[in-house]
Structure 1
Amino acid sequence: MLPRLAIYLFAPLASASLVQLPQWPQRRLSPAGRLGLRPLPAAPRGSGQVQMVFDRFDRDAMRLVMDAQVEARKLGGSAVGTEHLLLAGTMQADAIQQALDRAGVKASGVRDAIRGPGGGSIPSLDGLFGLKAKDELLPFSKDTERCFRTTLIRSGEEHDWALIGSKDLILSVLRDEEVDAGALQLLTKMGLDRQSVLEEVEAGERELVGAGGASSGKNTTLSQCSVDLTRKARNGQLDPMVGRTAEVRRCMQILVRRRKNNPVLIGDPGVGKTAIAEGLAQAIVEETVPEKLKGKRVLALELGLLVADTKYRGQFEQRLKEVVEEVTASKDTILFIDELHTLVGAGAAEGAIDAANLLKPALARGELQCIGATTVAEYRKYIEKDAALERRFQPVRVEEPTIAQTLEILSGLKAMYSKHHGVSYSEDALVAAAKLAVRYIPDRFLPDKAIDLIDEAGALVQIAAFESTSRAKATPEVGVNDIAAVVAQWTGIPVSKLDGDESRRMLNLEQQLHERVIGQDGAISAISRALRRARVGLRSPRRPVASLVFSGPTGVGKTELAKAVADVYYGSEQAMVRIDMSEYMESHSVSRLTGPPPGYVGYEAGGQLSEAVRRNPHTVVLLDEIEKAHPDVFNILLQVLEDGRLTDNKGRTVDFTNAMLILTSNVGSRTILSMAQARSSQQVADVDDEAYIEMRSAVKRELLQRFRPEFLNRLDEIIVFAALKRHEVMQVAELMLTELTARCAENGYTIQLTPALKEVVVENGFSPTYGARPLRRAMQRLCEDAIAEAILDSFVFEGEVLTMDASAKGGVLLKNKRGKTREHTPPAGQGIEDDMVAPAANGEALPQYDMGLQPLTRPIV
């Protein structure tokens, strides 16, 4: 169909009355040929060898001629005149249309002059393909033939037989001064001067974004390294800009200056700097700009493409020089350079200058208009250092929008994202996106992070609808829970609304924590209350989830409780940052928390505390044995405890508002033990509630003596751990023995323990002074050693049951399934606690140990 249609369309060109041309040089297949248009048969004898004119046309010239043919036929004309070519030119979405528009040849005016009011738009190439071969197609008028003849001759004489573009045809139409030229009569009717229109279009020859490139048929440097934002705006390819009226107005004010008319947009990443440049392009297309900016083009320069493949010295400078010459000659181009700081040093090599220095002269004279965009940090680092470059730009501050302004932006973009994902967005979802982004994504900026939330939530709902078995026809809606689900995926923080199962789990936190930590009801209750406040959103959003101090003797479960919280509430024991504060006893080691200053080893690695929380903000931060840290550490912790934030060595703010801070300390352990020993008629484990309250008050007084008031005053609660009672030690022993049997089962051995053996383990491991740790050592000596010897001696085989009971001598009696028995008696005096004595209550020197340590000369606290 298409080749035959082309023959009908261009049959008039085969007439001998057009022009006889010499043999054309052999060339590769032209765009016309690639369209499927083949040359016409040879002309009749006697007419000479006439080559097909359209074989020299590129794709856009072919489209122009086809559109002119369709328009002439719709208007009922007898031939295709130059006025129809001009009409088709005003409808092209390229540089031709832009140049004609600037000259006053607007589509609406031409439509009124030729077609009359109410005419429809020119159909596309597909519309022409809908014509049938039997339909009569119009010949070309004499002025159109004259236009083709002139264009062909100029192509051979001036452009070395380059392909003919649509702009070449329009220039030939406007250069025709014959009185019978339809285009001339049209311009006269519209009250326009032909010569003025011609000069405007000729000046636009340097316009580089036309579909066929420049009239020479080659793409120029600027067209290869830039994107026309005004064209995208005209074609509806840019997102609408909402708000930012003041910033756009400020840019316009700078652009209409006579000298140094180059604004630079300075703001944090994601606040909308690029959107402001796109909004300016949209305003130019809508002609809602000052007169001096009407008809301007905004080209986004891709500096990476400009530098690419510049292997030899001078190539980059030549490319940039061509770009500057093209922009200054066009008089209507505004360059937009995103990441402006990349100009400094771009293309620089030994003996060469960088892009910034190449642009300085044109920027200062006002010949080159440029809009830059960069972040605050990079502007200070690169632009401010070069005073000569800085003075050529006028800064425009772009601040982060508020939540209300972000909501307006999301409302303006909602339609585009709804269309893209095939979903709808509720108003509550937009509000949740703005608020949750601020609260849970502090390291990014509005509106970018909120836009990303609604984008990914739309993708989430779209995929869920696709995977749904119901395949409902109703448009799925993005709700608050979908936004919360995306936030949870990004941060690991549970922010969705509580369901029934989770509500019950939060109410039973104490029971879950007691499964791992025996006793310490006060500590577990305080932590559970803090977690419930945080989960329902009642806690302060500017403070950590909880800031707690665990004080008490060693081995009573302080560290174990922190691990249990990480496991039960945060999902895993790995969700805990544990820092041993004994590593920060020296003043120079304090910087390791936030990172060494610039110039020191480890600067790029960041701080041990700040980097861990920055990467995982939903965590438990355990600062173990805080009393051993250097006093300067507490200065760093003050802002964390009060404001939930910490600034690292690179100036980044680390958010602690979703972290729980637990500080363990042995301060007060002497007080706890001394008060218990003073009650000679009672064991330490048998103190009543009144005695515990008295003990807690004494420990807090000791903490006040050890730590500064401003530090203690920022803590949510000081929790004093009491020494373990005997029945609590028995429960700890059961937990440890259960873990032992589970490890044996993993290796294929079934272990059965009698209650009598548990009593023996507790009897050998119970120590009010040292808590539950001696219990672990007793279990190792009594149980683990006996099982290991039984396995190595083949007393028990894999898959068999081994029964363990207490012996009459206080050891362990083992019995296998074959009825054989053996006794294991641990060596006497092998436990560490056998050589330990309780610390003196008055803080005097500790006794000397067998391991050769000398007695301390000062109290440990």
Structure 2
Amino acid sequence: MSTAQIKALLDKLNEHCLQALESAAAFAGMRGHFEVCIEHLVVKLLEKGEGDFDLILRHFDVNLDRLWQAMLDNLSRLRSGNRNKPSFSLQLLEWFERAWTISSLRDPQAQLRSGALLEALLDLAPRLPGTAWLSLEVVSRNLLQSHLAELIRFSVENPQLPSAAEAVVPSPATASVRSADTATPHLDAYTTDFTARAAKGAIDPVLGRNDEIRQIIDILTRRRKNNPILVGEPGVGKTAVVEGLALRIAENGVPDSLKKVRLVGLDLGLLQAGAGVKGEFEKRLKSVIEEIISSPTPIILFIDEAHTLIGAGGDAGQGDAANLLKPALARGELRTLAATTWSEYKKYFERDAALERRFQMVKVEEPSQDNAIVMLNGLKGHYQKHHGVLITDSAVEAAVSLSSRYINGRYLPDKAIDLLDTAAARICMGKAATPAEVDTAREHLTYIERRRKHLAEETAQGIPADVNLLADLQQQEEEARKQLTELEQRWQAERALVGRIQESRTGGKDALADLATLQRDLQELQKNSPLVQPEVDADTIARVVADWTGVPVGRMVKNDLANLLDFENTLSRRIIGQESAIHAIGQSIRCSKAGLRENQAPIGVFLLTGPSGVGKTETARAIADTLYGGERFMVTINMSEYQEAHSVSQLKGSPPGYVGYGEGGILTEAVRQRPYSVILLDEVEKAHPDVLNMFYQVFDRGFMRDGEGREIDFKNTVLIMTSNLGAETILDLCAPPEPVGEEEEPETPFAPPSHGALIEAARPALTAHFPAALLARMQIVPLRPLDRDTLRQIIAQKLDKVAQRLFDAHGIRMRCTPEVIDHLVGRCHTPESGARAVNTLIEQNLLPGISRSLLGFMVNEDMPQLMALEVGENGELECLFSDIVKEDEPQFAQAGAGG
């Protein structure tokens, strides 16, 4: 075919096909192909969309994504390496010729459309290589010819719709198909009418946001600058506030100027979909703006995630959507309600002063727990109806309180709603689905059965096997089968009771009389491990939180107030010999929890001072475990790393204009994500004074502003600082006086100093280092050096842990004599090092010898049952192993260990 003939053929293509062909040629050149093939053009026609080609294939349910991928697979097998301009393949030109023949028979004057290309492709497909064309077999040639005009009615190739921007494309993938014959086709196609949805009852009630809605109404009724922008963290309910406004408009609960207003939400995704050609996105957006301005009914445009306007449709600051909106916003012709997050507002809006000044900010803060409970109570009925289960008030309160404490990085009310929704879905599913406990028991039984069968098969085939293991597996199988049977029976019984309880709730007054009895029977049957539950309660919420976070259920449902009353006893089991310090901390925390302290201050601010190794850091861990449910709710910051003034930015985040701005600080981000936690500032005396100065406001008012200006709440934290200042004074004061010469022991025994005396003794050293104003905001808690009796208890506790690990790993019981503990106390009693000397002695002297012996037994496959720890004749510790164990031998036999 000559060049003139090719040019004449290409001139017959309409604008849509010509643009696709140009893109296909560029695509072939980019991939280094020598020819522009049919596959290149099909790929570009599919990517452009909205034309005859796309609409016809969608009508016949051809999977366009699969066809597009098949074309790319075909192209990947073509020869590449061409550095020149690719030529048109013979098959491509034949395709054009056949298509023009089909098109000219209908209308000789018309240009060649992609619909004719598709008809021609149906004829060529059987002769083309590969299986990619098989998907076109579903397209009926007869139906295509008889209904072509109807199929391409909304095509962008129609003369009355000169561009894709002015077309509304009917597509199964689109959520709503609108008609181009309406007065506002683009508005109907690319927006959602919130007021219409509110009038139909499709929007959930919005409670607790009256102030924000009033602010929006005030701004919208202005003559100028009547464009509110909602700014808040993700999940605080910005879109819900807009829905609340739509509900008020639908209920006529707004001023007269807003009663006839439509509130529509712009869908930027729909605006951008298929707008591959430059200028199409801008035309679509302009059409939407023009229809809003010219509408006889006033329209307010809501733009969610408004920061996506910047850079949408063009380069930021030039032809993007934000700049297309500015003129209409400046003239007051377009009332816009926008929403975005704080980080995006700072990143995009604050940098564009012209755009920022056209909006009036409305802050949407995270609701308080009380306010969040009100919000969830308003939604509770909708979730009960959806899931068909009862949601109790205690479940709502637990969803708010537990999500606030244990679910980090998200905000109320969103995380509480998700928690309530998940719990309701779980209860609904539990009516029919098998409980997880039953599934686990079945899997465990199946595993034991398979293992026993495999071992039995090996034995039958003459392969040596452990006879004891086979007998043990048979016993385990019987126990697992018995446990599974009991679980299944209890599951069926619980299901029956739950069914009767639900029937009695809907059966009138007579049925309600039996409700208490049924609930009591169910409680006795379930005890503390329910398989089926009749309603969503606080325990259900706690179990969902446990699955999400790993925090044990028992810690969440435990009564915090009762826990505080037993605070000293709980901590004394871990922190030995520091009763006065623990008592002082417990008193202070109880005062805060009882509401007798300033509400703005943290729960407690403690400065623990004393010698090394007496339990300062361990006290912080124990408080985190007791108050918040685990040591992972403790943030540890080594203050020796902040000895320079500029290191303040590491803790609270870099200010604007500095490297690291927007990334957050180590301390502020940790508290922002875990507001219920213990903050441990270790070795606080080593930090630079400027670093300590930023804690004045934290200690006094319970908040700190980070580098981005956000207010970080410390009110639910316990701040603990550790220091060695005054340690020498405390050591001297607690040390009994040594006798001089042959002086007899004094008649009056040595009395340890009181807690108040220790504070006064340590105060001069603390005052010399910390400013008086800062020290006054802390509660000084001195810790005593460890005496011999305390050390005996600590050593016994450490040996008990070693014995537990030995039994868990190898099934060996451990026994030690009182002389062993006396021997270890003698080697560890150095007040300057405290309990750290115990760890060092056990790790370096005791465990290596035990490990060597155990490895020898493991090699010989002859593991003993008992290890006795004794002091040998040479004064060193010895480990004696034997198989003689008494029936009542405890796991760790400690005779006369002193507790």
- Pick the TM interval, shorter chain: 0.5 to 0.7
Aligned to 2:265: 300
User: Relative to 1, partners in 2 of residues 1:444 and 1:809: Cα closer, same or farther, differing over 3 Å?
Assistant: closer
Confirm or deny: 8 A CA contact 1:645 1:654 kept in the other structure: yes
Query: How far does residue 301 in structure 1 lie from its aligned partner after superposition?
Result: 0.9
Confirm or deny: 8 A CA contact 1:239 1:413 kept in the other structure: yes
1:359 paired with 2:325, answer yes
After superposition, residues 825-840 of structure 1 pair within 5 angstroms as: none
Aligned to 1:734: 796
1:227 paired with 2:192, answer yes
Query: How far does residue 671 in structure 1 lie from its aligned partner after superposition?
Result: 1.0
Query: How far does residue 522 in structure 1 lie from its aligned partner after superposition?
Result: 1.0
1:618 paired with 2:618, answer no
Confirm or deny: 8 A CA contact 2:643 2:688 kept in the other structure: yes
Query: How far does residue 422 in structure 1 lie from its aligned partner after superposition?
Result: 3.8
Can you list the C-alpha shifts for 1:330-373, whole angstroms capped at 9, x where unaligned? 33352222233332322113996111222333444455443334
After superposition, residues 349-388 of structure 1 pair within 5 angstroms as: 349=315, 353-374=319-340, 378-379=344-345, 381-383=347-349, 385-388=351-354
Aligned to 2:230: 266
Aligned to 2:762: 699
After superposition, residues 203-222 of structure 1 pair within 5 angstroms as: 213-214=178-179, 216=181, 220-222=185-187
1:566 paired with 2:624, answer yes
Report how many residues are paired.
624
Aligned to 2:875: 810
Query: How far does residue 274 in structure 1 lie from its aligned partner after superposition?
Result: 3.6
Structure 1 letter corresponding to 2:864:
G
Confirm or deny: 8 A CA contact 1:265 1:273 kept in the other structure: no
Aligned to 1:322: 287
SS at the partner of 2:652?
coil
Greater shift in the superposed pair: 375-384 or 703-712? 375-384
SS at the partner of 1:332?
coil
SS at the partner of 2:274?
coil
SS at the partner of 2:286?
helix
Greater Rg, structure 1 or structure 2?
A: 1
User: Relative to 1, partners in 2 of residues 1:768 and 1:222: Cα closer, same or farther, differing over 3 Å?
Assistant: same
User: Relative to 1, partners in 2 of residues 1:781 and 1:598: Cα closer, same or farther, differing over 3 Å?
Assistant: same
Equivalent position to 1:769, from 832, 850, 859: 832
Query: How far does residue 584 in structure 1 lie from its aligned partner after superposition?
Result: 2.0
Structure 2 letter corresponding to 1:336:
F
Aligned to 2:863: 798
Confirm or deny: 8 A CA contact 1:263 1:396 kept in the other structure: no
Confirm or deny: 8 A CA contact 2:232 2:363 kept in the other structure: no
Provide the rounded CA distance (Å) in 2 between the counterparts of 1:699 and 1:278.
Answer: 60
Provide the rounded CA distance (Å) in 1 between the counterparts of 2:252 and 2:758.
Answer: 79
User: Relative to 1, partners in 2 of residues 1:778 and 1:701: Cα closer, same or farther, differing over 3 Å?
Assistant: same
Can you list the C-alpha shifts for 1:453-497, whole angstroms capped at 9, x where unaligned? 765675576667788632222277767777788889889999999
Can you list the C-alpha shifts for 1:353-409, whole angstroms capped at 9, x where unaligned? 111222333444455443334456655654455454455556667677788877776
Structure 1 letter corresponding to 2:868:
T
Which residues of structure 2 form unaligned runs of 5+?
1-54, 60-147, 155-166, 436-493, 507-533, 885-899
Confirm or deny: 8 A CA contact 1:491 1:616 kept in the other structure: no
Provide the rounded CA distance (Å) in 2 between the counterparts of 1:500 and 1:298.
Answer: 47
Greater shift in the superposed pair: 326-335 or 810-819? 810-819
How high is the TM-score relative to the length of structure 1? 0.60
Confirm or deny: 8 A CA contact 1:552 1:672 kept in the other structure: yes
1:723 paired with 2:785, answer yes
Provide the rounded CA distance (Å) in 1 between the counterparts of 2:593 and 2:562.
Answer: 13
Provide the rounded CA distance (Å) in 1 between the counterparts of 2:346 and 2:771.
Answer: 39
After superposition, residues 47-66 of structure 1 pair within 5 angstroms as: none
Aligned-residue CA RMSD (Å): 5.0
SS at the partner of 1:623?
strand
Can you list the C-alpha shifts for 1:87-131, whole angstroms capped at 9, x where unaligned? xxxxxxxxxxxxxxxxxxxxxxxxxxxxxxxxxxxxxxxxxxxxx
Provide the rounded CA distance (Å) in 2 between the counterparts of 1:765 and 1:272.
Answer: 59
User: Relative to 1, partners in 2 of residues 1:369 and 1:332: Cα closer, same or farther, differing over 3 Å?
Assistant: farther
Structure 2 letter corresponding to 1:593:
L
Confirm or deny: 8 A CA contact 2:677 2:718 kept in the other structure: yes
SS at the partner of 1:236?
coil
Query: How far does residue 714 in structure 1 lie from its aligned partner after superposition?
Result: 1.6
Provide the rounded CA distance (Å) in 1 between the counterparts of 2:855 and 2:549.
Answer: 49
SS at the partner of 1:803?
strand
Provide the rounded CA distance (Å) in 1 between the counterparts of 2:312 and 2:578.
Answer: 64
Can you list the C-alpha shifts for 1:419-460, whole angstroms capped at 9, x where unaligned? 334456677877888899899999877766776676567557
1:522 paired with 2:542, answer no
User: Relative to 1, partners in 2 of residues 1:246 and 1:367: Cα closer, same or farther, differing over 3 Å?
Assistant: same
Aligned to 1:837: none
Structure 2 letter corresponding to 1:701:
P
1:583 paired with 2:638, answer no
Provide the rounded CA distance (Å) in 2 between the counterparts of 1:360 and 1:500.
Answer: 56
Confirm or deny: 8 A CA contact 1:163 1:217 kept in the other structure: no
1:550 paired with 2:608, answer yes
SS at the partner of 1:590?
helix
User: Relative to 1, partners in 2 of residues 1:400 and 1:617: Cα closer, same or farther, differing over 3 Å?
Assistant: closer
Provide the rounded CA distance (Å) in 2 between the counterparts of 1:511 and 1:601.
Answer: 48
Structure 2 letter corresponding to 1:521:
E
Provide the rounded CA distance (Å) in 2 between the counterparts of 1:653 and 1:775.
Answer: 44
Q: Higher helix fraction: Structure 1 or Structure 2?
A: 2
1:754 paired with 2:817, answer yes
Provide the rounded CA distance (Å) in 2 between the counterparts of 1:211 and 1:559.
Answer: 61
Can you list the C-alpha shifts for 1:780-839, whole angstroms capped at 9, x where unaligned? 5653354355557779963354434223332234545499xxxxxxxxxxxxxxxxxxxx
Query: How far does residue 412 in structure 1 lie from its aligned partner after superposition?
Result: 5.2
User: Relative to 1, partners in 2 of residues 1:563 and 1:329: Cα closer, same or farther, differing over 3 Å?
Assistant: closer
Structure 1 letter corresponding to 2:338:
G
SS at the partner of 2:830?
coil
Aligned to 2:694: 636
After superposition, residues 448-463 of structure 1 pair within 5 angstroms as: none
SS at the partner of 1:549?
strand
Q: Percent of aligned pairs with the same residue? A: 41
Greater shift in the superposed pair: 695-704 or 428-437? 428-437
Aligned to 1:664: 722
How high is the TM-score relative to the length of structure 2? 0.58
Aligned to 2:709: 651
Confirm or deny: 8 A CA contact 2:246 2:263 kept in the other structure: yes
Provide the rounded CA distance (Å) in 1 between the counterparts of 2:227 and 2:792.
Answer: 75
Provide the rounded CA distance (Å) in 2 between the counterparts of 1:292 and 1:508.
Answer: 61
Can you list the C-alpha shifts for 1:518-544, whole angstroms capped at 9, x where unaligned? 211112323444555667777665333
Aligned to 2:135: none
User: Relative to 1, partners in 2 of residues 1:418 and 1:559: Cα closer, same or farther, differing over 3 Å?
Assistant: same
Confirm or deny: 8 A CA contact 2:705 2:712 kept in the other structure: yes
Query: How far does residue 302 in structure 1 lie from its aligned partner after superposition?
Result: 0.8
Aligned to 1:787: 850
SS at the partner of 2:602?
coil
User: Relative to 1, partners in 2 of residues 1:440 and 1:752: Cα closer, same or farther, differing over 3 Å?
Assistant: closer
Structure 2 letter corresponding to 1:573:
E
Confirm or deny: 8 A CA contact 2:609 2:725 kept in the other structure: yes
User: Relative to 1, partners in 2 of residues 1:431 and 1:672: Cα closer, same or farther, differing over 3 Å?
Assistant: closer
After superposition, residues 835-846 of structure 1 pair within 5 angstroms as: none
Confirm or deny: 8 A CA contact 2:643 2:686 kept in the other structure: yes
Provide the rounded CA distance (Å) in 2 between the counterparts of 1:793 and 1:733.
Answer: 27
